[in-house]
Amino acid sequence: MRKIAVIYSGNASHYRTFNEPKYNQYLAELIYFPNFLETPINHFDVLLVPSQMNETLLLQAKEKIHAYAEQGGIVVAFGPQPWEWLPNQKWEERETNFWWWKEKGAKSGLVLAAPENDLFNYITLSDATWHQHGVFWPIAGAKTLIATEDGGSVMYLDKVSTGGTWIITTLDPDYHFGSYFMPATERFLDGFLPWLANGEI
């Protein structure tokens, strides 16, 4: 099983999500964000960066996270990321429709772009469907796993920007599960974390 570290902000949603026993069993360490720059991380296989992080601390951590990835680490980034810290980041903010599912003939607008990927042995598209905050337009060579119908990337794998692997998504399951709403986010985490620990990446 891969050793997964989480950068931990200590906010209420992160506390609930990453201390939930069924998820915490996959986590080797929660690294309190103010202590991140002084904490060794190269012995971990995966570094998970949650959504809803402090902008100042995140930008300060950018160089260390990139160095970790350059040495072959796997970095996971949850949630919309409007700040420039991801490699070759091209983020497009879009208006969020929180109530799309109540519209007549409702469609999420999401599609599986790589249904053959091992992740989808652990989750379905429905498990990754709640609402959208925007899209990424990844660098050539990156692989989109979940996309919008117009081709924007909601989740992608980037193995070309650094010596490691980046799993980048606009989805924010940690926030919603930790805030006690959006049932799909629990199903997402139920599959995503076992895949991250044991699946083919």
Domain that holds residue 120: 4-198
Whether 106 has a pLDDT exceeding 60, the answer reads: no
| Predicted structure pTM score | 0.93
d(CA 135, CA 80): 8
Mean pLDDT on 87-100: 71
User: CB-based burial of residue 100 (10 Å sphere; 0-12 exposed, 13-18 middle, 19+ buried)?
Assistant: middle
* Predicted local confidence at residue 74, as pLDDT: 98
CATH code for the domain of 21: 3.40.50.880
**Antiparallel, parallel or unpaired: β 74-77 and 110-112:** unpaired
Calculate Rg over the CA atoms of the chain.
Answer: 16
Q: What is the mean pLDDT of the chain?
A: 92
Q: From residue 111, how far is each of 69, 114, 145, 184 by CA, in Å? A: 28, 9, 9, 16
Q: Which residue has the tokens 């208006």?
A: 95
Q: How confident is the model at residue 3 (pLDDT cuts 50, 70, 90)?
A: very high
> What tens digit of pLDDT does each residue of 133-153 get?
789 999 999 999 999 989 999
Indicate the number of domains in the chain. Answer: 1
Mean pLDDT on 60-68: 97
Provide CB contacts within 8 A for 128, sequence distance 6+.
110, 146, 154, 155, 171, 184, 188
